[in-house]
Structure 1
Amino acid sequence: MSLGDRYKTEITNEKWDAIIIGSGISGLTSGRLLADAGKKVLILEKHFKFGGYTHTFKRNNYEWDVGIHYIGGNLHKNNSFIRRLFDYLSNNNLDWSRMDDIYDKMVFPDKTYDFVTGKQLFIDQMISYFPKEENAIKKYIELVNQVFKSSLSYYSNKALPGIIGSITYPFMSKSFLRFAKRTTKDVLSEIGCSQQLIGVLTGQWGDYGLPPGQSSFGVQAMITRHYFEGGYYPIGGSRMIAETIIPGIQSKGGKVVLSTGVKTILTHNGNAIGVLLDNGDEIMSKKIISSAGVKNTFEVLLNDENKTSNKSAPINQVDASTGYYCLHIGLNKSAKEIGLNNANLWVYPGYDHDQNLENYLLDNKQSYPVVFISFPSAKDPTWDKYHPDSATIEVITVAEFSKHRQWEDTEWKKRGDEYDLLKENISQSLLESLYKHSPNTKGHVDYYELSTPLTSRDLANYKEGELYGINHTPQRFKQRWLRPETKIKNLYLTGQDIVTAGVSAAMMSGVITSSAILKKNLMKQFLH
């Protein structure tokens, strides 16, 4: 059986239980779980590759991820929730490589701090860096654990239908929101963390897109706990995620179709009834599941009957996250030959992340507020077998869509000389950062290509090229409507917007959405 299905007009004549918009991990998870429950599922992907932010692309002998750089979550334990879910979805065909014990390095002008694998080792390491703040560090870990425990009830409530969900929401969400409705900086300052310690503990803020003065402590705590047992990388690259999940959907009679964009979600009398494709075809279905992000769903995909109605969703209560630049680099020697290890580098100009970001947004000539450097070929033990004498690196930083608005009506790879010059200048500045922090790479760069928010908009189909859907502010977590079931009957949401950022969270959202549709707690089978 070939991977995926070709679009044929005959699909419009078939009877579908669910149409899923988008083949990212949340859409694929929903598709597999619904297919296993006997539902006839059709997944429609606008892009020419499956997987959303889990797909890869190739140039010459090189291959890069577009969204996954590492995953946490105890994947080395076969009975952990995330591992059991990945194994189920992939029919045990998805394998993982554990990163080195030092999986993240926080690089500040005066010192580098290692994030190490193992909860207690992480605590001990932080205390060794900040011996006078031992109590604050231990209190922080206690709060991280409290947030995680309370989040289970908070997210479970999202799967409950209508009136039951509304009645139980206050007491199922209260404990989690006690922390999630406050900023990270507020909580860490209250427990006595210095500015320097806050800067280090929140050094992974790029994993969810907001500095501590703006982010919800809920997401900071969830990310911290997610990586207590280190980082992992899918063997064969991130494309293996979609490639191992799709066959299971097809085997149950489902279809996963590429290059088939949805123009509009069709509704009638307040009910979702089908989709209108970019090619003009209409496909009817009992249920529609949007994995396209809440902004796309309510501002772009819904027809005029519902698009501007706050009765459908108060979309003005949430903001889109920022875009990013990613420099994809190919090197003409292997990671081993160059001396690269697989730890990610997080490079900062100072300990005050909020000030760093503010300075950069006011004047782009200021230092980048964060530069994230990932070494994917060093993380994949099969890379050298299929790509000998080569290595890859990704260098990422913040980018504003507004800075690229003058080219928003242009086509990918046809945006003109001025745009190409901007990209080249940014590429050179990111290469400078790479050479400074990984000097062995200098002289070995064979190829590089920069993606911008416009690239992400055109290829990942987010309206302004945002990486993390909607911003992870305290305000976001107080939105009751960010749940699978919408005010439009038979229209459901899935994806990182109803949970939090990241592959594991988006995958969990697929479980929550499927649970809501089937009116059955599917989480139980993956919990030990």
Structure 2
Amino acid sequence: MKRTGTRFRPRLARDDYDVIVIGSGIGGLTAAALLSKLGKRVCVLEQHYTAGGYTHSYEREGYEWDVGVHYIGEVHKPWSVIRRVFDVISDGKIEWAPMDAHYDRIVIGDKTYDYVAGREAFKAEIKRHFPDEAAAIDRYVDLLSEVSARVPRFFAGQAMPRALGMLYARLRRMWLPAYFFQSTREVLEGLTSNQELIGVLTAQWGDYGLPPAKAAFVMHAMVAKHYITGGNYPVGGATKISEHIIPLIEAAGGHVFTYAGVDKILVENGRAVGVRMHKDGVEIRAPQIVSCAGLVPTYTRLLDSQVASEHGLLAPLKQVELSAATLCLYAGFKGSAAELGLPKTNYWVYPGHDHDRNIDRFMSGQSGDMPLIYISFPSAKDPAWDAQYPHKATVEIVAPTQPQWFAQWKGSTWGKRGAEYEAFKAQLTEQLLDTLYRHHPQLREALDFCELATPLSTEWFQWNEQGEIYGIDHTVQRFDQHWIHSQTPIKGLYLTGADTVTAGVGGALMAGVLTATRMLGWRGYQVGGLLKNWKSAPGGDARSEVAGAEG
């Protein structure tokens, strides 16, 4: 098994931590690393056997797969904010490899469309399919840049004191364009009446879990802009992300513990003062607590119900919904990616261009066609793969599903759910493999191993409510919930991760930045100093030069 972090033992824990972070997703690790760089002793507690959240990898039968890092945009640009954050929290040690120029291939029925890296190349390719829609395509790409330029203002309240941040969120409609508060379908139908084009332009909806009529356009635009100059993959696989972040936390006197499930956040006299562990009820204390476990699990499971109710945390949860649950098939094949002819391109396969209708028919049981099947080829994307796993290749297939299909096994132990469960998984596995073989028939005879993860697997390993992979849904209403903030009403308790900003590695990463900034109070400017003053040293080495970060 791929593992990062140190297995928890009470005797290893210190009694003088400045901060405890619950959960080692990229938001939690980012906040922990930034605070560590600014002199804090941070303890990160992860209930899984390995750190990293959705950025971890796992091994089985001589293969390795990522579980969430299928591709990341903008890190190939050294000046981009996301690249700077990654460089600062890893001391520049995370390397990135570019995918194919056509990073996403959209398959709708019997038609294929490519997303090609670069604004002009992207537009040219889409115009090739829709020559009469050139003006709409140009305006669409311009809108992506406009949203991207204003996103810092949209989320700025997360770094402010809670009361001020909530007021800021209420007032931002006054200085942000209307499209920040509309659905993706509303905005795109303002550009074109061509429904097929809308279906093509919104084909990455699986990256945030909602089809056009339900998704907030700001969420869609951030994802589309994030990838429009191309996709990248971490050299050595997703596990390299946590491998290079954890040493920074440890160097500052902190720890990243695995097998470290938290039972409750301890609150005394209205202030969070520590955590009680699942195992043996051991208590660890610190003046600041950060939860990267998700908004709903934090308020409903980590906090005592009376405490949560007294601080008004439960009633507002009715205003948000949990995001999509998925199936994920991890498959291993005999032969290298080159030998098998595998691309560095993701495939997005749809039964038709109307994503909203596809979802509605699937969820209502009117259609057995999966509304989306996403196929990724991680071993082809990683230039370091062949040296570690010669003559082997991996594929991952992801598709939305319905949690209620698995209700009869809810609460059961992973790996011990019985023959009926395994038979149901086998049926779903065949459906996913059939789609893969339609596009890469050469893989049929090369299959060596496959394993299907269901929403129950996600619940078991990621400690969420019903297998949701993106926290709370990214609807227009979600982004209008002013009470969602990195600072909670409980003194000393903070949130980070996707639920405070957006889904995806980039969104959770920036949530870590904003949470760390808020926790530092008036010294929050020091986080900006870390990012602003990062420089790559001659010869490819990296160093962090921080102006005025002490004191």
Counterparts of 1:274-289 in structure 2 under 5 Å?
274-279=274-279, 280-289=281-290
User: In 2, Cα distance between the equivalents of 1:166 and 1:27?
Assistant: 22
User: In 2, Cα distance between the equivalents of 1:176 and 1:398?
Assistant: 33
> Cα gap change, 1:168/1:431 in structure 2, threshold over 3 Å: closer, same or farther?
closer
Pair 1:14-2:4 in alignment? no
SS of structure 2 residue aligned to 1:474: coil
Q: 1:505 maps to what in 2?
A: 507
Q: 1:201 maps to what in 2?
A: 201
Q: 1:379 maps to what in 2?
A: 381
User: In 2, Cα distance between the equivalents of 1:527 and 1:215?
Assistant: 33
Please state how far the C-alpha of 1:310 moved relative to its aligned partner.
6.8
Q: 1:99 maps to what in 2?
A: 99
Please state how far the C-alpha of 1:356 moved relative to its aligned partner.
0.4
Counterparts of 1:439-450 in structure 2 under 5 Å?
439-450=441-452
- Work out whether residues 162 and 488 of structure 2, in 8 Å CA contact, stay in contact via their aligned partners in 1: no
- Work out whether residues 272 and 492 of structure 2, in 8 Å CA contact, stay in contact via their aligned partners in 1: yes
User: In 1, Cα distance between the equivalents of 2:38 and 2:506?
Assistant: 22
Please state how far the C-alpha of 1:309 moved relative to its aligned partner.
5.2
SS of structure 1 residue aligned to 2:113: strand
Q: 2:516 maps to what in 1?
A: 514
Q: 2:115 maps to what in 1?
A: 115
Please state how far the C-alpha of 1:10 moved relative to its aligned partner.
3.5
Q: 2:178 maps to what in 1?
A: 178
Q: 1:33 maps to what in 2?
A: 34
Please state how far the C-alpha of 1:51 moved relative to its aligned partner.
0.5
Counterparts of 1:228-377 in structure 2 under 5 Å?
228-279=228-279, 280-308=281-309, 311-312=312-313, 314-363=316-365, 366-377=368-379
Q: Which runs of 5+ in 1 are unaligned?
A: none
User: In 2, Cα distance between the equivalents of 1:361 and 1:220?
Assistant: 22
Q: 1:492 maps to what in 2?
A: 494
CA root-mean-square deviation: 1.7
Please state how far the C-alpha of 1:164 moved relative to its aligned partner.
3.3
State which drifts further: 385-394 or 4-13.
Answer: 4-13
CA deviation map 1:424-451 (0-9, x unaligned): 0000111101101221211111110000
Counterparts of 1:216-227 in structure 2 under 5 Å?
216-227=216-227
> Cα gap change, 1:12/1:90 in structure 2, threshold over 3 Å: closer, same or farther?
closer
SS of structure 2 residue aligned to 1:143: helix
Which amino acid letter does the alignment assign opposite residue 139 of structure 1?
R
User: In 2, Cα distance between the equivalents of 1:488 and 1:91?
Assistant: 33
One of 472, 481, 484 as aligned partner of 1:482 = 484
Please state how far the C-alpha of 1:304 moved relative to its aligned partner.
2.4
One of 443, 468, 471 as aligned partner of 2:470 = 468
User: In 2, Cα distance between the equivalents of 1:461 and 1:97?
Assistant: 31
Please state how far the C-alpha of 1:175 moved relative to its aligned partner.
4.3
Q: 2:531 maps to what in 1?
A: 526
Pair 1:156-2:156 in alignment? yes
CA deviation map 1:196-247 (0-9, x unaligned): 0110000000000000011000101101100111000001110100001000
User: In 2, Cα distance between the equivalents of 1:59 and 1:295?
Assistant: 31
SS of structure 2 residue aligned to 1:442: helix
Please state how far the C-alpha of 1:9 moved relative to its aligned partner.
2.2
> Cα gap change, 1:524/1:351 in structure 2, threshold over 3 Å: closer, same or farther?
farther
CA deviation map 1:22-68 (0-9, x unaligned): 01111111111111121121100000011011111111221011111
Which amino acid letter does the alignment assign opposite residue 187 of structure 1?
V
Which amino acid letter does the alignment assign opposite residue 33 of structure 1?
L
CA deviation map 1:336-376 (0-9, x unaligned): 11111110000000000010011111127521100000000
SS of structure 2 residue aligned to 1:256: strand
User: In 2, Cα distance between the equivalents of 1:478 and 1:31?
Assistant: 28
Q: 2:538 maps to what in 1?
A: none
User: In 2, Cα distance between the equivalents of 1:163 and 1:64?
Assistant: 42
Which amino acid letter does the alignment assign opposite residue 382 of structure 2?
D
> Cα gap change, 1:473/1:192 in structure 2, threshold over 3 Å: closer, same or farther?
same
User: In 2, Cα distance between the equivalents of 1:505 and 1:175?
Assistant: 22
SS of structure 1 residue aligned to 2:121: helix
- Work out whether residues 180 and 219 of structure 1, in 8 Å CA contact, stay in contact via their aligned partners in 2: no
User: In 1, Cα distance between the equivalents of 2:109 and 2:168?
Assistant: 49
User: In 2, Cα distance between the equivalents of 1:483 and 1:395?
Assistant: 34
State which drifts further: 189-198 or 325-334.
Answer: 189-198
> Cα gap change, 1:111/1:131 in structure 2, threshold over 3 Å: closer, same or farther?
same
Which amino acid letter does the alignment assign opposite residue 409 of structure 2?
W
| TM value normalised by structure 2 | 0.92
Q: 1:49 maps to what in 2?
A: 50
User: In 2, Cα distance between the equivalents of 1:174 and 1:496?
Assistant: 25
SS of structure 2 residue aligned to 1:158: helix
Counterparts of 1:415-454 in structure 2 under 5 Å?
415-454=417-456
> Cα gap change, 1:204/1:11 in structure 2, threshold over 3 Å: closer, same or farther?
same
SS of structure 1 residue aligned to 2:73: coil
Which amino acid letter does the alignment assign opposite residue 254 of structure 1?
G
SS of structure 1 residue aligned to 2:511: helix
Q: 1:134 maps to what in 2?
A: 134
User: In 2, Cα distance between the equivalents of 1:162 and 1:237?
Assistant: 37
